[in-house]
Structure 1
Amino acid sequence: MKFAKNILETIGNTPLVRINKITQELDCLVLAKVETFNPGNSVKDRMAVKMIEDAEADGRLKPGGTIIEGTSGNTGMGLALGAIVKGYKLICVITDKQSKEKMDILRAVGAKVIVCPTDVEPDDPRSYYSVSKRLGTEIPNSWYVNQYDNPSNAIAHYEQTGPEIWEQTEGKVTHFVVGVGTGGTISGVAKYLKEHNPNVKIWGVDTYGSVFKKYHETGIFDENEIYSYITEGIGEDILPKNVDFSLIDGFTKVTDKDAAVFTRRLALEEGIFVGNSAGSAIKGVLQLKEHFKPEDVVVVLFHDSGSRYVGKIFNDDWMRERGFLDEEITTAADLIKNHRDKSLVVVRTEELVSHAIDRLKKFNISQIPVIDTTGFVGSIDESDLFKSYFSEKNIAEKPIREIMGKPFPIVMENTPVEEVSKLINKDNQAVLVQLENGKYHIITKHDIISSIK
Structure 2
Amino acid sequence: MANVLRNSVRRFATTAARAATAETVNTYGIRVSQAQGVVDTLVGAIGNTPLIKLKKLSAETGCNILGKAEFQNPGGSIKDRAALYVVKDAEERGLLKPGGTVVEGTAGNTGIGLAHVCRAKGYKLVIYMPNTQSQGKIDLLRLLGAEVYPVPAVAWENSENYNWQAKRHAERLQKEDPEHGAVWTNQFDNIANRRAHIETTGPEIWAQTIGKVDAFTCATGTGGTLAGVTRFLKDVSDGRVKSFLADPPGSVLHSYISSGGQLKERSGGSITEGIGQGRVTDNLENEVKELDGSLFISDEKSIAMVYRCLDEEGLYLGASSALNVVAAKEVAEKLGPNHTVVTMLCDGAYRYADRLFSDKWLQSKNLRQAIPKHLEKYIVLP
Q: TM-score by structure 2 length?
A: 0.80
**Structure 1 residues 176 and 223, CA gap change in structure 2 (3 angstroms):** closer
Letter in 2 for 1:155: R
Contact 1:157 1:188 in 2 (8 A): yes
Name the structure where strand makes up a greater proportion of residues: 1
Map 1:166-181; keep pairs closer than 5 Å.
Answer: 166-181=206-221
**Structure 1 residues 182 and 172, CA gap change in structure 2 (3 angstroms):** same
Cα deviation for residue 165 of structure 1 reads: 0.4
Segments of 4+ in structure 1 off by > 6 A?
none
Percent sequence identity is: 37
Q: TM-score by structure 1 length?
A: 0.68
**Structure 1 residues 67 and 165, CA gap change in structure 2 (3 angstroms):** same
Structure 1 counterpart of 2:339: 296
Structure 2 counterpart of 1:449: none
Contact 1:41 1:305 in 2 (8 A): yes
Let me know the Cα RMSD of the aligned residues: 2.4
Structure 2 counterpart of 1:189: 229
Letter in 2 for 1:158: I
Cα deviation for residue 306 of structure 1 reads: 1.3
Count residues with an aligned counterpart.
329
Contact 1:67 1:143 in 2 (8 A): yes
Structure 2 counterpart of 1:129: 163
**Structure 1 residues 152 and 67, CA gap change in structure 2 (3 angstroms):** same
36, 41, 51: which one aligns with 1:16: 51
325, 332, 336: which one aligns with 1:282: 325
Cα deviation for residue 226 of structure 1 reads: 5.8
SS of 1:213's equivalent?
helix
| Separation in 2, partners of 1:164, 1:99 | 34
SS of 2:368's equivalent?
coil
| Separation in 1, partners of 2:313, 2:59 | 12
Cα deviation for residue 220 of structure 1 reads: 4.4
| Separation in 1, partners of 2:151, 2:360 | 25
* Unmatched segments (≥5 aa) in structure 2: 1-35, 175-180, 372-380
Letter in 2 for 1:134: R
Map 1:29-428; keep pairs closer than 5 Å.
Answer: 29-96=64-131, 98-118=133-153, 120-140=154-174, 141-197=181-237, 198-220=239-261, 222=263, 224-225=265-266, 228-243=269-284, 244-326=287-369
**Structure 1 residues 249 and 104, CA gap change in structure 2 (3 angstroms):** farther
SS of 2:336's equivalent?
coil
| Separation in 2, partners of 1:265, 1:253 | 19
| Separation in 2, partners of 1:37, 1:231 | 20
RCO greater where, 1 or 2, for CA within 8 Å and sep 6 or more?
2
* Unmatched segments (≥5 aa) in structure 1: 329-337, 340-453
SS of 1:93's equivalent?
strand
**Structure 1 residues 89 and 276, CA gap change in structure 2 (3 angstroms):** same
| Separation in 2, partners of 1:186, 1:33 | 13
